A and B are shown apart, each in its own frame.
Chain A
Amino acid sequence: MTFAFHASDWLLLAPELFLTAMGLLLLGLSVALGKTKEDFLAFLATVSVGITGALVAFVATRPERATPILGGAFVVDNFALFFKALVLLSLALTVLASARYVGAAPYPGGEYYALLLFSGVGMLFMASGNNLISIYVALELMALSSYVLAGYFKAEPKSTEAALKYFILGAFSSGVLLYGLSLVYGAGGVMGLPELAKLLASASRSNLLMLGILLILAGLLFKIAAVPFHVWTPDVYEGSPTPVTAFFSVGPKVAAYAILARIFYVAFAKFHADWGFVVALVSAATMVLGNVAALLQSNVKRMLAYSSIANAGYALLGVLGFRTEWGLWGILIYLLAYTFMNFGAFTLIILLESKGYAGESVSDFNGLAKRSMPAAVVMLLFLLSLAGIPPTAGFIGKYYLFTAAMKAGYAWLAILAVVMSAVSLFYYFRIAAAMFFTEGSPAKLKSSYALSAVIAVCAVGTLVIGVVPQPFLEVLKSCVLGR
């Protein structure tokens, strides 16, 4: 292997390097400016994410990105760019949604935003990770930042509990993942995904390899909160500060799917028959448990936590569909739709929170239509989209996922998914009924520009993808991975 640095290598790393630098700057500024200037820090964090996005767009135009750089560890293909854009989108939304929430709380804002940006750096590296070890380290960077963010409101016992649960279970799952990676490395002797794919193409099925694949799968299923690795989700979602919960429900999941797709679509596709069965079972269990458990919740964050578990089950249909490109497209479009609709729903929870820390209940939504019709209509849009009703983004996403599952020969799973979507209507429409049919607090709704902007972006995204999906689908087509 010949190896040389080029100046252009650093060019391709520009988004990651810039975001890291801005994280460090925020840390320094928070000391210098103190607690009074947190709005400025939030603004700076938003701008940083925006510029990083511009850098990603710039990188997209560079011809150098045709080949992996830095010893093949870092690749900037269309797939990576898609996920980088999506990760930055969720990051920007999180920063904006946090501004008022964190500003009002007695905790320093500088470190909060810095941690968000660092976890963003981890996710950007995850999107581009092209060998096992860099993927793992990037994942850990993202995860460690997440643990701290979960426990950021440390005077709240629920927050601390969330952080502890997330950390212990997360560290355990990382161990499982690492063990799996080491077994696969042991079986193949190479770290790079393309090399691994080449090697496995001619390799025969061995127990060692299967065990490695299974452990990697288990480690990643934890990150996307699939049954039976989901137990942390409701507690962590409930206990974390709500903007952080919103972030957990999209950013890290999206990045974990990037890894899942890259490893399983590129390297392990050959053994689809072996792991496909496991994924099918997990997907079925996840959809059933997520939706049924969500029915029983009265805390709306817990309800959406189970809803996001259920959504992970739907998205696994795409993983099953990795036999054809449809699986990959399904995941991409669904994650895009999911980012908008799920984040939007969580932002409304932030807006409506009325009973102190971790007390968000469905009754917060009572009479929302009277207090603010636009807010109620927009929330309805998110709920319809989450339930997969046309013409919303969620429908297009489910459309692709179901198609992928059927094309891969899992019609029974698609039927189950549809039945479970019907079940999900029960709890989504509990919120809708609360908003429109019941009386609630007459207090005027106080929004901020930042929150309104987040909600508007999410609503527009949810609606536009649903009504004019064509341009988005065109982009997807160019985002497939080679194998």
Chain B
Amino acid sequence: MDALLRDHLVSVVVFLPLAGAVLLLLLPRSAASAARNIAFGVSVLDLIVSVPLWTRFLVGVPGFQLRERIDWIPQLGITYNVGLDGISLLLVMLTTVLTPVSLLFSLTHVEKEVRGYSVAFLVLETGMLGSLVALDLALFYVFWEVMLVPMYFIIGIWGGPRRIYASMKFFLFTMSGSLLMFLAILFVAIRHHTATGAWSFALEDLTRMTFTGRVETYLFLAFALAFAIKVPVFPLHTWLPDAHTEAPTAGSIILAGVMLKLGAYGYLRFALPLFPDAAMRFAPWLGVLGVIGVIYGAMVAYAQHDMKRLVAYSSVSHLGLVVIGIGAFTTMSLSGSILQMVNHGLSTGALFLLVGVLYERRHTRELDAYGGIAAVVPVTTALFLIATLSSIGLPGLNGFVGEFTILLGTWLSPHRWWSAAAATGVILSAIYMLTLVQRVFWNPLVVEENRKLTDVRPSEFVAAATLVVLMVWIGVRPNDVLDRIRPAVESLQKSVAARQVALHESARPEISEVRR
């Protein structure tokens, strides 16, 4: 057991939820409360097991740590190859925190097909964790797809009235993108085979390949499309509000908290290092789309009457900021983007959770159905307010650090105006979020039903409070997180810069070749 945890810690963290899911399948279908508790227990256990990842991770060391490597399909050079750097570490921790939080919320709010629900969440967790630690492109693709199916069912079975439409749209959007990515992965691997005679899907091997301009552009676009749909970057975002509105609360938390980040993560982990030249050429476009996303998302969010849809569009806006940070590509802006991914996971997760709390009591998410409930549900109000302040970037909370770092980092890049435009987005976010708080919690209490609202239950409080504690922690001690991010970001920048130089020196041979 000790040896297992010592040498295969990452694998244990990744597959523990899957083992829990298998265990659940052995239960009778009717054992709802047992299924609930086991699923929650497994996710908490996974959180506990994942803490050593955080403590054993060597701060300040670039490159991947805690690596494991086993041959999976030797015939094709596909390996089970996992490891962590600062970027994946943070997102892994975010995942292991948000899964128990959302399952804790579901403990009291899901009645239908509890066993299936629990199984779907645990499989989803394995899919997300696997995508975050995979260093072999084929393995990554497998986890990436494994992640889709449970979410499809979470939306489609436990979702709202238009759930079938929403789940189908979610599935088709993300799947179409990832199929093209699959083809691009295959193409890169075949080129590698042609050049070296050996099959490999390992990131390290494939990043040594260089491609000529046109080919690189196509490959980059195939990858970027898959990830941009997931983020979602501006014109590809239409699936997101539908998916969020229809998904059950816990599904929204995970969707917004982790799955959207996987888009940005995939871009940083794969698209950038594999196709640095094209990535740099398209970076300005990315930044512009990010700016559009920030402002468009904010404006549409302001126009919403449905709380959940409002928060969903605020995600489009916030992730636009992350995209800007990536597009600017300075050390600071990249670090800020990665930090902001975590921040957004925490704050939006909390917002969805608290919207869920209100929804479970009143079964409506219309802003007009509420008003003046601050006195009725003081604890809910307090938690909601903190999450809102975190989301709009109040100093002292995590959101401020992230947004500020991105804006400053972008200001230092050649694209100053992005920073200026994005700052207006930040102001807009304050407007729509505070309006939301105003209309729901303050304003005069006109709807009589609202007098009978009950405040958060203990389980709901624990779930939300966990997130609030983390928000404050990152807000107060951002360097705990930034120190882990920086080496990863710097090595990413270094490798991209080195390869760009090499690419321009090597006079662009017509057929790709491997540099040693």
Contacts and interface: CB of A to CB of B under 8 A. Distances in A.
A391 interface: yes
A372 B238 CA distance: 35
B156 A406 contact: no
Contacts of B299: none
B146 A437 contact: no
Contacts of B171: 425, 429
A464 to B, nearest CB: 13
A384 B168 CA distance: 14
Interface in A410-425: 411, 414-415, 418-419, 421-422, 425
A369 B75 CA distance: 37
Contacts of A432: 152
A41 to B, nearest CB: 38
Contact of B182 (A411, A418, A426, A470): A418
Contacts of A391: 142, 146
Given A402-B186, A437-B156, A470-B75, A422 B172 contact: yes
Interface in B172-192: 172, 175-176, 179-180, 182-183, 186-187, 190
A407 B116 CA distance: 42
Contacts of A426: 168, 172
Given A422-B175, A429-B171, A437 B187 contact: no
Interface string B59-85: 000000000000011111000000000
Contacts of B168: 426, 429, 433
Given A403-B186, A425-B171, A436 B149 contact: no
Interface in B189-238: 190
Interface of chain A, main secondary structure: helix
A400 to B, nearest CB: 9
B176 A390 contact: no
Contact of B190 (A380, A389, A407): A407
B172 A425 contact: yes
Nearest to A373: B29
B153 A436 contact: yes
A411 B141 contact: no
B149 A384 contact: yes
Contacts of B182: 418
A432 B168 CA distance: 10
A390 B183 contact: no
B172 A390 contact: no
Interface string A281-298: 000000000000000000
Contacts of A389: 145, 148-149, 175
B96 to A, nearest CB: 23
Interface in B98-149: 116, 141-142, 145-146, 148-149
B80 to A, nearest CB: 12
A418 B222 CA distance: 12
A242 B63 CA distance: 57
A470 B186 contact: no
B164 interface: yes
A403 B190 contact: yes
A414 B190 CA distance: 13
Contacts of B175: 389, 422, 425
A433 B164 contact: yes
Contacts of B146: 390-391
Nearest to B74: A470
A432 B171 CA distance: 12
Contacts of A271: none
B314 interface: no
Given A422-B175, A422-B176, A473 B75 contact: yes
Nearest to A392: B145
Contacts of B344: none
A43 B317 CA distance: 65
Interface in A391-406: 391, 399, 402-403, 406
Interface of chain B, main secondary structure: helix
Interface residues of A, number: 32
B74 A437 contact: no
A389 B175 CA distance: 9
Interface string A27-54: 0000000000000000000000000000
Nearest to A390: B142
A469 interface: yes
Nearest to B72: A470
Contacts of A402: 183, 186
Given A422-B176, A425-B172, A433 B73 contact: no
Interface in A426-446: 426, 429, 432-433, 436-438
B499 interface: no
B223 to A, nearest CB: 13
B167 interface: yes
B186 A399 contact: yes
Contacts of A403: 186, 190
A299 B76 CA distance: 39
Nearest to B113: A369
A433 B75 contact: no
A344 B164 CA distance: 25
Interface in B255-311: none
A106 B371 CA distance: 70
A473 to B, nearest CB: 4
A86 to B, nearest CB: 20
Given A390-B146, A436-B156, A436-B157, A422 B179 contact: yes
B484 interface: no
Contacts of B183: 402, 414-415, 418
A469 B156 contact: no
A403 B73 CA distance: 16
A429 B141 CA distance: 20
A389 B171 CA distance: 12
A433 B186 contact: no
B139 to A, nearest CB: 10
A164 B74 CA distance: 49
Contacts of A422: 172, 175-176, 179
Contacts of B116: 369, 373
Nearest to B173: A422
Nearest to A326: B190
Nearest to B144: A390
B36 interface: no
A366 B84 CA distance: 44
B163 to A, nearest CB: 7
Contacts of A415: 180, 183
B156 A433 contact: yes
Nearest to B71: A470
Contacts of B76: 399, 473
A418 B179 contact: yes
Interface in A341-389: 369, 373, 380, 384, 389
Given A418-B180, A418-B182, A425-B172, 6 more contacts: A389-B145, A402-B186, A415-B183, A425-B171, A470-B74, A477-B75
Interface of B: 29, 72-76, 116, 141-142, 145-146, 148-149, 152-153, 156-157, 163-164, 167-168, 171-172, 175-176, 179-180, 182-183, 186-187, 190
| 8 closest cross-chain pairs (CB), A and B | A422-B176, A390-B142, A473-B75, A418-B179, A418-B183, A437-B156, A437-B164, A389-B145
11 contacts: A390-B146, A391-B146, A403-B190, A414-B183, A415-B180, A419-B179, A422-B175, A425-B176, A429-B172, A473-B76, A477-B75
